[in-house]
Amino acid sequence: MKGEKKVSNATVKRLPKYYRYLSDLHQVGISRVLSIDLGRQMEITPSQVRQDFFQFGCVGLQGYGYEVEPLMQEIGKILGLAQPNQMIIIGAGKLGRALANHPSFEKRGFKIIGMFDLNPHLIGKSVRGIEIQSMDALPEFAAGHAVDIAVITVPRMHAREAAEKVIRYGIKGIWNFASVEFEVPDDVAIEHIHLSESLMSLSYKLKEKRQALAEKLEEGYCWTYGLECGLR
């Protein structure tokens, strides 16, 4: 591997999926992988895979492919995973608690160290050993802990206010699940998550699959049994 280079935005968007797939291979003891197999997982061409990796100096060998562990480590370095990130959750409702219970974050180097809410019925309860605290406790907590990321899961009408608070307390990363977008200062990184948009993308893919099946049936094939049925 060569030193870190500038990677295009399009490639950066694919890197987390590359990393996840390579991690799965590494866990089961697979030491190398071909670009054709990576492309199949990514739903892109092998040529695009090779172009992506070439941007940061990784060149596979023809017929041999790529070494899984070094490639995974290089992608992790580009994504900033070499250094653990500490997170807090603002909003301890159902979504906030579900995220806190998600086991894979810590495996990727993201550790949840605090949860905060305004609801007095939630304050004092614990999720995976993390006590839900009042929002009033956030300034002191942020001052005494190195918090890298705030996860915002509050209702959308309160999201901007929550973001302004965590920014005021020096937190530079925001993962926003509130289904509303807003601007932040240049020195703050933010990722907006829209669950409904993901569902609509799934709806599109499902529509395409249904349309393809309908076209096959019109051609006279019964795909339930994989036999030609002569439906015309």
Assigned domain for 1 exists: no
**Helices (DSSP H) in the chain: which residue ranges?**
9-27, 35-42, 46-54, 68-78, 94-100, 104-107, 138-144, 156-168, 195-218
Identify the domain boundary among 60, 78, 96. 78
Q: Are residues 26 and 119 in the same domain?
A: no
pLDDT at 2: 45
Assigned domain for 43 exists: yes
220 has a pLDDT exceeding 70: no
pLDDT at 232: 43
Q: Are residues 210 and 155 in the same domain?
A: no
Q: Are residues 117 and 163 in the same domain?
A: yes
Encode pLDDT of 68-96 as tens digits: 999 999 999 999 888 889 999 999 999 99
Q: Are residues 70 and 144 in the same domain?
A: no
Identify the domain boundary among 46, 78, 110. 78
Assigned domain for 2 exists: no
More confident residue, 228 or 197: 197
Encode pLDDT of 4-22 as tens digits: 567 898 999 899 999 999 9
Question: The domain containing residue 115 runs over which residues?
Answer: 85-193
pLDDT at 3: 47
218 has a pLDDT exceeding 80: no
pTM over 0.85: no
Q: Are residues 152 and 95 in the same domain?
A: yes
Check which CATH number belongs to the domain holding 34 and give it.
1.10.10.10
Q: Are residues 91 and 128 in the same domain?
A: yes
**Arithmetic mean of pLDDT, 42-49:** 93
Q: Are residues 188 and 154 in the same domain?
A: yes
Q: Are residues 54 and 120 in the same domain?
A: no
Q: Are residues 128 and 62 in the same domain?
A: no
Q: Are residues 163 and 206 in the same domain?
A: no
Assigned domain for 34 exists: yes
pLDDT at 224: 52
Encode pLDDT of 122-159 as tens digits: 999 999 999 999 999 999 999 999 999 999 999 999 99
Question: Burial letters for 74-90: b for 16+ Cβ neighbours within 10 Å, e otherwise?
Answer: bbbebbebeeebbbbbb
pLDDT at 82: 81
**Cβ within 8 Å of residue 77, ≥6 positions away:** 4
Percent of the chain clearing pLDDT 70 (strictly above): 92
Q: Are residues 110 and 63 in the same domain?
A: no
Q: Are residues 89 and 187 in the same domain?
A: yes
Domain tally for the chain? 3
pLDDT at 201: 85
Encode pLDDT of 155-181 as tens digits: 999 999 999 999 999 999 999 999 899
Assigned domain for 4 exists: no
Q: How far apart are the first and last CA of the chain?
A: 58
Residue where the block lists tokens 């499902």: 206
Is 29 strand, coil or helix? coil
Check which CATH number belongs to the domain holding 90 and give it.
3.40.50.720
Mean pLDDT of the chain: 89
Identify the domain boundary among 45, 78, 111. 78
